[in-house]
């Protein structure tokens, strides 16, 4: 049975079916995210990992699809501890409530996350070819590497395959120059000879080819502690990981602020659509036609996933419409 539930954001369509405990199935609508649904139903956007955990059919928490159903339990918070039995109520220790676990943001694809640095990363080697002589190399391919330094590659150890692109732009006369590093895959070195090494591509995020770089790799837990955001970061979107002309929800992109400016992983910021001024003969300042500046419009939210000195990698959590690189990023 489908009915309407009153929430803080208005009427919400839900499907009532028997559940263990008090709850219902919610039908995902276009534009929904677990982040927003946690805020809507539990008044706390940071409880979304609990909402994800309840719905194991959702493999990637950043991709939920309209028309699918998720379980919503009618509790104040997803991680509230159970109440003790009445007999124990008088014996509970008095004092401050112990702090709960620190909120975190889970991003399972951290190992494939690209970044922007001022200069290219120090490489450990370059791909020179593959066992199959294929020009395009992917998971399962055996490849050959020429090391840049003696003993720089160790048998049995994992490394990253990286390609690079130069990034150059300016915002309000502020120039930005850097090098985008794209993570193409993960390799495991099989053996090292005098002047080359053999490796297996164990994970592939994009196709690799001869000339791509080999760099160190440390696996990530995929969990980012939530941090307090800066009041005025004054950043702009540089570009997306895939060089999209238009960006939308769930896209990975980069901003022109990094650890040097106080940006940290786990901070969230607002995307602002910058409006042009309006010149109109109907707007008079004295006897002269004038102009007004239209207030910038908040259009979405991002979270910082990784920082380098002068740039950061971000994920677009939500946005009301597609947007182009150059959009302002600031606090609310």
Model pLDDT for residues 224-253, shown as the tens digit of each residue: 888 889 888 889 999 999 999 999 988 999
Per CATH, the architecture of 110-216 is what?
Beta Barrel (2.40)
Q: How does residue 62 score in pLDDT terms, banded at 50, 70 and 90?
A: confident
- Comparing 2-73 with 226-330, is the CATH topology the same? no
pLDDT value of residue 180: 98
Q: What proportion of the chain, given as a percentage, has pLDDT over 90?
A: 45
Q: What proportion of the chain, given as a percentage, has pLDDT over 70?
A: 78
Predicted model pTM: 0.72
Residue range 2-73 in CATH 3.10.20.30: no
Condensed to tens digits (0 to 9), the pLDDT of residues 272-301 reads 987 666 666 666 666 666 666 677 788 888
Least confident span in 59-63, 172-176, 238-242: 59-63
- Mean pLDDT, the chain, rounded, equals 81
Residue 157 confidence (pLDDT) above 60: yes
Q: Any idea what the Cα angle at residue 245 is, between residues 241 and 248, rounded to 5°?
A: 70
Residue 313 confidence (pLDDT) above 70: yes
| CATH numeric code, 226-330 | 2.40.10
Where exactly are the structural domains of the chain? 2-73, 110-216, 226-330
């Amino acid at each position: 049975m489908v009915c309407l539930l009153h929430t803080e954001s208005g009427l919400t369509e839900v499907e009532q079916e028997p559940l263990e405990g008090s709850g219902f199935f919610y039908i995902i609508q276009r534009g929904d995210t677990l982040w927003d649904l946690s805020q809507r139903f539990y008044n706390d956007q940071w409880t979304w990992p609990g909402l994800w955990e309840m719905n194991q059919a959702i493999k990637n928490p950043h991709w939920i699809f309209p028309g699918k159903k998720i379980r919503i339990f009618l509790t104040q918070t997803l991680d509230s501890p159970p109440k003790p039995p009445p007999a124990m109520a008088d014996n509970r220790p008095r004092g401050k409530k112990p702090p709960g676990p620190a909120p975190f943001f889970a991003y399972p694809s951290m190992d494939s996350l690209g970044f922007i640095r001022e200069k290219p990363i120090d490489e450990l080697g370059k791909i020179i070819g593959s066992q199959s002589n294929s020009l395009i190399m992917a998971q399962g391919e055996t490849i050959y590497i020429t090391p840049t330094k003696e003993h720089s590659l160790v048998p049995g150890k994992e490394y990253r395959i990286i390609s690079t692109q130069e990034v150059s732009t300016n915002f309000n006369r502020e120039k930005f120059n850097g090098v985008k590093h794209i993570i193409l895959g993960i390799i495991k070195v099989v053996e090292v000879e005098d002047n080359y090494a053999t490796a297996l591509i164990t994970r592939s995020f994009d196709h690799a080819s001869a000339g791509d770089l080999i760099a160190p790799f440390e696996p990530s837990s995929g969990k980012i502690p939530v941090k307090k955001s800066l009041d005025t970061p004054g950043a702009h979107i540089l570009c997306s990981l895939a060089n999209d002309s238009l960006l939308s929800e769930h896209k990975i992109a980069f901003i022109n602020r990094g650890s040097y400016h106080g940006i940290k992983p786990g901070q969230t910021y607002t995307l602002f659509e910058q409006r042009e001024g309006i010149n109109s003969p109907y707007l008079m300042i004295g006897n002269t036609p004038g102009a007004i500046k239209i207030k910038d419009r908040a259009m979405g939210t991002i979270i910082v996933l990784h920082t380098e000195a002068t740039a950061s990698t971000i994920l677009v959590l939500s946005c009301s419409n597609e947007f182009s690189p150059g959009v302002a990023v600031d606090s609310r």
